[in-house]
Amino acid sequence: MVPGAIDGLQEVDYLTSDDALKLEAVPDEFVIVGGGYIAAELGYYFGSFGSDVTVIEAEDTLVPREDGDVAAAFTEIAGGRHDVYTGYRASAVTESAGEITVTAEAEDGTEVEVAGEELLVALGRRPNTEGIDLDATGVATNDAGFIETDEQLRTNVEGVWAMGDVADNGMYKHSGDYEGEIVIENVAHDGSREADFTALPHAVFTEPQIGAVGKTEAQLDEEGREYVVGRAEFTDTAMSRALKLDEGFAKVLADPETREILGCHIIGHEASMLVHEVTPAMRYGATVDGLANTLIHVHPAMSKVVMKACKDVS
């Protein structure tokens, strides 16, 4: 998604995430407008190859859709390896002598200018439903352009199904794979399988990784729902100390009465795997106490950080 509000952007040779992965040489300076998971992953990617990376994000933290504590921790870590400007909105872009300069402005009017050999615009994605003449098919879309589907991923038009990013059921590769299984069974095998996106996890593949499932504190606050919080540091586990890991934590949100797990947010080593300890528990109704006290964890497995976070809720 490329906004029109950045002056001069259409006149420069900027990159999308697809373009960035096709570069044949590592840029000396790599500027990223946007601070979500694509920006986080590609910033880490190019930084690992030796690029000097600068990230400009309008929100107060990077990965702002993550739980606030995770986002704040990641922003601090990323700031140790990149030049990070949070709270700045890109307002203008120019290109001269092979160098792209981005001007960004804070709410108080403070401006910064950053320059680089390449510019990545990573401000989100939108469904690729424009320009394919959907109107001629009668397939319904919502106001954001996503194709509307029922639980079996059928559209409003007989014989037409939709899956993946255009269907707005989670713009992730793993949710698209799952939807593909549903559609194949229903179309090719005349099935009636329904998609269930309960406890859909996601991960951000940087160092450290982020893994999350369920609601964030901000989402629960917005809903007005009561919750309790449990937290454990990676350094609370023997495996973390053995691996000499000095950062990362797991955080669990639960209903104070039913003990239902409402969310889990992890930043740290192999967080993308650790979140799967909680995902099936949420999907099948296990409680935070069940994970804390009933499930026996192998020692000294890293997953004990999740157990300790659940115990902290208790």
Global pTM value: 0.94
- The confidence band for 294, taking pLDDT boundaries of 50, 70 and 90, is confident
Mean pLDDT of 63-76: 98
Alpha-carbon distances, residue 142 vs 156, 166, 172 (angstroms): 12, 11, 19
If you ran DSSP here, which 8-state letter would residue 92 be given? Answer: E
Class of the domain covering 202-313: alpha beta
Q: Express each pLDDT in 234-287 by its tens digit.
A: 999 999 999 999 999 999 999 999 999 999 999 999 999 999 999 999 999 999
Vertex 171: Cα angle to 310 and 10 (nearest 5):
130
- Looking at domain 9-121, which CATH architecture does it have? 3-Layer(bba) Sandwich (3.50)
Residue 63 contacts residue 37 (beta carbons within 8 Å): yes
Residue 287 contacts residue 261 (beta carbons within 8 Å): yes
Q: Which residues, at least 6 apart from 144, have a Cβ–Cβ distance to it below 8 Å?
A: 126, 127, 168
Cα 298 to Cα 287: distance, rounded to the nearest angstrom: 20
Residue ranges per domain, the chain? Answer: 9-121, 135-188, 202-313
Cα 285 to Cα 266: distance, rounded to the nearest angstrom: 20
Hey, which bits of 107-242 come out as E strands?
Answer: 111-116, 118-121, 202-204, 209-214, 228-233
Cα 272 to Cα 45: distance, rounded to the nearest angstrom: 17
Please tell me whether residue 161 adopts helix, strand or coil conformation.
strand
Residue carrying the six token digits 């115990």: 311
Q: Which residues are catalytic?
A: 299
Residue 175 contacts residue 279 (beta carbons within 8 Å): no
| Whether the predicted pLDDT of 292 surpasses 90 | yes
The whole-number pLDDT of residue 4 equals 65
| Whether the predicted pLDDT of 3 surpasses 70 | no
Cα 28 to Cα 25: distance, rounded to the nearest angstrom: 9
**Interstrand relation of 88-96 and 99-106 (parallel, antiparallel or unpaired):** antiparallel
125 vs 271, which has greater pLDDT? 271
Q: Express each pLDDT in 90-101 by its tens digit.
A: 999 999 999 999
- Write phi, then psi, for 9 (nearest 5 degrees): -65, -40
Residue 82 contacts residue 46 (beta carbons within 8 Å): no
Q: Which residues, at least 6 apart from 249, have a Cβ–Cβ distance to it below 8 Å?
A: 69, 73, 231, 232, 233, 234, 266, 267, 268, 305, 309
